[in-house]
Amino acid sequence: MKKAIEISDLTVYYRDTLALDHVSLSIDAGKITGIIGPNGSGKSTLLKGILGIIPVKKGEVTFFGNSLEKYRSKIAYVPQRESIDWDFPITVEEVVAMGRIRPKKWWSRTTLADKEIVKETIKKVQLSEFSTRQIGQLSGGQQQRVFLARALAQEAELIVMDEPFVGIDMASQDSILSIVQKLRDSGKTVVIVHHDLSVVAQYFDDVVLLNKKLIASGPIDEILKSENIEKAYGMTLLLNKEKGRF
Amino acid sequence: MNDVLMILTACSVAIPASLLGVLLVSKSLVMVGDAISHAVLPGIVVAYLLSGTRDSVPMLAGAAITGFLTTFLIDFLRKKWKVQEDAAIGFTFTFLFAIGVLMIALFAGKNSDLDQECVLYGDLETSILDQVIIGEYLYGTRAILQLLPLTITLLLVIFIGFKGWKVWAFNPQFGSFIGIPMQVFHLVLMLLLSIHAVLSFESVGVILVVGLLVLPAATALLFSKTLAKTFWYSACIGMVSCILGVFLGKWINISISPLIVCVNGLIFLTSVFISPNKKSISTN
């Protein structure tokens, strides 16, 4: 199986706190892989670390055998919804059009072909009727789809999404999932950070279980065994129970 | 004639301020704008002491250097010494500003044309007396002729780099990730802010200029759903407030630059009540 991402010995610190402890793993190309773990287990840190968004202490990452620098233009990153300023004066189509910016010629005008791609992409995520709306005027699920559309507009080979299913309605979840599955079926690789165990089996082909260290990674039916879950979530569940917020 | 000159001088400060303000307000950098407009003071004083004149070239150099110094100092305190951002900003600009005020008191003396009153409050009425007349023709006030090139540069920078500014203000992480040098945008903004602060302090002073930076932009944001519209609205509000300010000032015979800021404040307050985007400021 071709590897999309290979991570070796990734270690990340936030100030003095260890966030990721010598994580080594690989993610298969052409699959939907979920990165799963309890809150504070370093899932988002793993994503941001491999994408160079936060500094890493140690470790190496390759994308289809290339360095991040070489492969950057083929990666699309969908940020966590809470990291976005939803009051910012920008419309749906403007956000999606960002996906068509060429980094080396970022100042150039949007071409007609680009405009067409933007329109098509917005249609794919079923937001055509909202394309001139300010992004704050959308529901949570619609907002998430705007950023998925921007990633689609980038026409990337690898799509990386940080908690796309948090706080959105079922219809939107299904719609995002079906788009993601179509992406996979057309040969793209999708990596999704996700914290909720209950739906893992329907969503992902492979999973990476994380709790600061790598607990397990591989095909979903092999990994989702109770001992692994306990390793990843067990202590946290107990701790939460003690604090009275199970 | 004087009214027209007064309005044009006020607008020459307010238009670039309202455009810069859009970038500051939409990215929650208002405090940084406040900081820069105060922190350039020691730069101005040193430039004045070294060159002995209030010529714009040494003043601009002084401002640019202190502007960058402020930016780097804030960044340094925040990143290296882990000082929280608002404290880092608060420390940097009050410290630099205090040094500037002390330098004026110590070195510039009472008889020089750089005094504390002028720097703090500015004086639009006096600044229009500084006219540029070549031959028989009046070309404008010195403030207009100095701020016009800045305004044109600013418009070009915003227009040509518009996509970049949009990414920088909205989602810089995305910009950096795809490989646009986002830090350069920040530095360009700080440089333009520093230059604006120097060129406008004689007319409105370093305190009131913050009102011109923030209020038109904050009002414009209440009504617009795109960044482009925010720039337009903000510039228009800036101009209208200058015209209203000048006529009101003439009418009640009172100092004009604080009046312009007051008018801006009233426009903002009224807008908060009638705007469709009311929700957006309550959640910020």
pLDDT at res. B64: 84
Question: Are B244 and B52 spatial neighbours (Cβ–Cβ below 8 Å)?
Answer: no
Q: What is the pLDDT along chain B (284 residues), one digit of tens a residue?
A: 688 888 999 999 999 999 999 999 999 888 888 899 888 888 888 888 888 777 778 888 888 888 888 988 998 998 888 889 889 999 999 999 999 888 888 876 655 666 777 777 777 777 777 788 777 777 788 888 889 999 999 999 999 999 999 999 999 999 999 989 999 999 999 999 999 988 888 788 877 889 999 999 999 999 999 999 999 999 999 999 999 999 999 899 888 888 999 999 999 999 998 887 655 444 43
CB pairs under 8 A between A and B: 74
Residue of B nearest to A85 (CA): B170
Q: Is B136 helix (H, G, I), strand (E, B) or coil?
A: coil
CB A79 to CB B284 under 8 A? no
Choose among B176, B179, B226: nearest Cβ to A90. B226
Q: Establish if B166 touches chain A: CB-CB under 8 angstroms.
A: yes
Does A191 score more than 90 pLDDT?
yes
- Asked which of A17-21, A223-227, A233-237, B141-145 is least confident by mean pLDDT, the reply is A233-237
Helix (H) or strand (E) holding B236: helix B227-252
Residue A194 forms beta bridges with which residues?
A36
CB A98 to CB B284 under 8 A? no
In Å, how far is A242's CA from the nearest CA of chain B?
33
CB B225 to CB A91 under 8 A? yes
CB A106 to CB B230 under 8 A? no
- Asked which of A112-126, A188-202, B142-156 is least confident by mean pLDDT, the reply is A188-202
- For every residue of B138-191, which 3-state class applies, written as one string? EEEEHHHHHHHHHHHHHHHHHHHCHHHHHHHHHCHHHHHHHCCCHHHHHHHHHH
Question: Are B122 and B203 spatial neighbours (Cβ–Cβ below 8 Å)?
Answer: yes
Helix (H) or strand (E) holding B127: helix B124-127
What is the C-alpha to C-alpha distance for residues A84 and A246, in angstroms, rounded to an integer?
A: 29
Chain A contact probe: residue of B163, B176, B282 with most A CBs at under 10 A: B163
Enumerate domains of chain B plus CATH numbers. 2-280 (1.10.3470.10)
pLDDT at res. B278: 53
Q: How many CA atoms lie within 13 A of B278 on its CB side?
A: 8
Enumerate domains of chain A plus CATH numbers. 3-233 (3.40.50.300)
Is the full-model pTM beyond 0.80?
yes
pLDDT at res. A16: 82
Q: How confident is the model at residue A216 (pLDDT cuts 50, 70, 90)?
A: confident
pLDDT tens for each residue of B178-229: 989 999 999 999 999 999 988 888 788 877 889 999 999 999 999 999 999 9
